[in-house]
Amino acid sequence: MVRRVEPPDGGWGWIVVLSAFFQSALVFGVLKSFGVFFLEFMAAFEEPAARVSWITSIGIAVQQFGSPVGSALSTRFGPRPVVMAGGILAALGMMLASFATSLTHLYLSIGLISGSGWALTFTPTLACLSRYFSRRRSLATGLALTGIGLSSFAFAPFFQWLITYYAWRGALLLVAALSLHLLACGALLRPLRLAEDPSVGGPMAQLTSLLHHGPFLRYTTALTLVNAGYFIPYVHLVAHTQDLGWDPLPSAFLLSLVAVADLLGRVFSGWLGDICPGPVARQLALWSFLTGMALALLPVAQEPFILMALVVVYGFTAGALTPVAFSVLPELVGIGRIYSGLGLLQLVESTGGLLGAPLSGYLRDLTGSYTASFVVAGAFLLSGSLILLTLPGFFSCFFLPSATEQNSGRKSLEAKVSLQSAEYKEGIPEAQEP
The structure's pTM equals: 0.72
Sort residue 278 into left (φ over 0), alpha (ψ -120 to 50) or beta. left
| Average pLDDT per 10 consecutive residues for the chain, totaling 434 residues | 66 90 89 76 78 78 84 86 95 94 90 92 88 84 84 79 90 94 93 70 76 89 89 77 77 77 86 76 91 91 86 90 85 81 83 77 83 90 93 66 39 42 39 34
Q: Cα–Cα distance between 7 and 84 in angstroms, integer?
A: 23
Q: How many Å apart are CA 138 and CA 273, to the nearest integer?
A: 6
Read off the DSSP letter of residue 402: P
Specify burial of residue 168 (Cβ count, 10 A radius: 0-12, 13-18, 19+).
buried
List, in sequence order, the alpha helices (H) in 334-370. 338-367
d(CA 386, CA 190): 38
Instruction: Output 55-59 pairs: Cβ under 8 A, ≥24 positions apart.
Output: 55/103, 55/106, 55/107, 55/110, 55/111, 56/31, 56/110, 56/111, 57/111, 57/354, 58/107, 58/110, 58/111, 58/112, 58/115, 59/31, 59/110, 59/111, 59/114, 59/115, 59/118
What pLDDT does residue 252 have?
A: 67
pLDDT given for residue 403 in this prediction: 35
For residue 97, the one-letter residue type is A
Q: Which domains does the chain have, with CATH numbers?
A: 1-195 (1.20.1250.20), 198-400 (1.20.1250.20)
In order, the DSSP letters of 276-303 are S-S-HHHHHHHHHHHHHHHHHHGGG--S
Dist CA 40 CA 50 (whole Å)? 14
CA distance 50 to 45: 13
Looking at residue 221, its pLDDT comes to 92
Strand partners, 3: 193
Q: For the chain, how far is it from start to end, CA to CA, in angstroms?
A: 5
Q: Residue 364, SS3?
A: helix
pLDDT at residue 178 in the model: 93
Q: What is the pLDDT of residue 430?
A: 35
pLDDT at 172: 94
**Cα 372-375-380 angle, rounded to 5 deg:** 120
For the four alpha carbons of 372, 374, 375 and 379, in that order, the dihedral sign comes to: positive
- CA gap 305, 98 in Å, rounded: 44
Q: Calculate ∠ Cα 70-73-75, nearest 5°.
A: 110
Residue type, 67: S
Residue 378 pLDDT: 93
